[in-house]
């Protein structure tokens, strides 16, 4: 397999972003949720390069006390982009408390409601921008492949700059940006809910997954079966909503 050329791909993504905005919002602002992890950090850097820092709005959305909020602040300050902080805690609590009046909210509901409230918040911000806003999706190929995202939550957005890049490729592009703190580009991903890393939860490393995606090689047969199973179960998250068509 040919070596990944991070510099070349970075340039191609930047040009793609410019072309997309020229067609879908020549004066619009790119609105992006900033978590402090690699995906939002690298995407924000790409947006700044493509559009200029004044056309990027970083949004930090803590739910109560966020232990790593300082990482999010470092990203927006390192890039010098406009930003705001909007708490989603009361919104999440309100939805779940109303659901609780009708039924017991499941664990899935408790896990997936916050990212859906965050996405609704990003669209509220986008709708409030003077020249309009377009919401950036920050999912990568590796997470999308196994469905490690929330449908209509972090899996939503108007445009998706890095969804064709594996975790290793996102990191490689992040390393080409001098202004991005390297420890954030290589930060161990975690949902912040259970004290485990993403890799601990899924049961294999992203390096293993990325090799399987790009080369079709996975030496552990049980892991290969697990990846295939997760991919099949979650592929619906990547498809356009099915529509009945009259005959």
Closest CA to 185 of 14, 46, 11: 46
Residue 243 is assigned to a structural domain of this protein: no
Closest CA to 214 of 153, 172, 160: 172
The long-range contacts involving 106-113, CB below 8 angstroms and separated by at least 24 positions, are 111/150, 111/191, 111/193, 112/150, 112/151, 112/153
Domain count, the chain: 1
Closest CA to 180 of 44, 47, 52: 44
What angle do the packed helices 167-174 and 38-51 form, to 10 degrees? 50
Residue 88 is assigned to a structural domain of this protein: yes
Please tell me the predicted confidence (pLDDT) of residue 64: 80
The model's pTM is: 0.94
Residue 237 is assigned to a structural domain of this protein: no
Residue 203 is assigned to a structural domain of this protein: no
Q: The domain that contains 110 carries what CATH number?
A: 3.40.50.620
Residue 113 is assigned to a structural domain of this protein: yes
Q: Along the 247 residues of the chain, how does pLDDT read in single tens digits? A: 678 999 999 999 999 999 999 999 999 999 999 999 999 999 999 999 999 999 999 999 999 877 788 999 999 999 999 999 999 999 999 999 999 999 999 999 999 999 999 999 999 999 999 999 999 999 999 999 999 999 999 999 999 999 999 999 999 999 999 999 999 999 887 655 556 788 988 999 999 999 999 999 999 999 999 999 999 999 999 998 999 999 9
Residue 215 is assigned to a structural domain of this protein: no
Residue 229 is assigned to a structural domain of this protein: no
pLDDT in tens, 22-43: 999 999 999 999 999 999 999 9
What are the E-state strand segments in 16-69? Answer: 29-33, 56-60
Instruction: Provide the token pair at 35.
Output: 């978590």
Domain that holds residue 71: 6-189
Residue 244 is assigned to a structural domain of this protein: no
pLDDT in tens, 73-108: 999 999 999 999 999 999 999 999 999 999 999 999
Cα(183)–Cα(34) distance, integer angstroms: 15
* H-run or E-run covering 134: strand 133-135
């Amino acid at each position: 397999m040919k070596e990944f050329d991070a510099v070349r791909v970075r340039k191609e993504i930047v040009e793609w972003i410019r072309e997309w905005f020229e067609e879908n919002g020549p004066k619009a602002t790119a609105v992006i949720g900033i978590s402090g992890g690699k995906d939002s950090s690298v995407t924000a850097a790409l947006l700044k390069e493509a559009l200029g820092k004044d056309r990027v709005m970083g949004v930090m959305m803590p739910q109560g006390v966020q232990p790593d909020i300082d990482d999010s602040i470092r990203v927006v300050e390192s890039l010098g982009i406009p930003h705001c902080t909007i708490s989603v805690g009361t919104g999440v609590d309100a939805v779940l408390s109303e659901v609780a009046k009708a039924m017991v909210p499941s664990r899935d509901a408790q896990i997936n409601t916050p990212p859906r409230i965050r996405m609704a918040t990003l669209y509220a911000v986008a709708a409030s921008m003077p020249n309009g806003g377009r919401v950036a999706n920050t999912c990568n190929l590796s997470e999308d492949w196994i469905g490690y995202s929330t449908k209509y939550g972090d899996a939503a957005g108007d445009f998706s700059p890095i969804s064709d890049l594996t975790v290793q490729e996102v990191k490689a592009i992040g390393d080409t940006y001098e202004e991005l703190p390297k420890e954030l580009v290589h930060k161990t991903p975690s949902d912040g809910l259970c004290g485990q890393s993403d890799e601990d939860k899924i049961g294999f490393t992203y390096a293993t997954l990325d090799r399987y995606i790009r080369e079709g090689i996975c030496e552990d047969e049980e892991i290969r079966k697990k990846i295939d199973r997760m991919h099949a179960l979650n592929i619906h998250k990547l498809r356009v909503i099915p529509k009945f068509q009259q005959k």
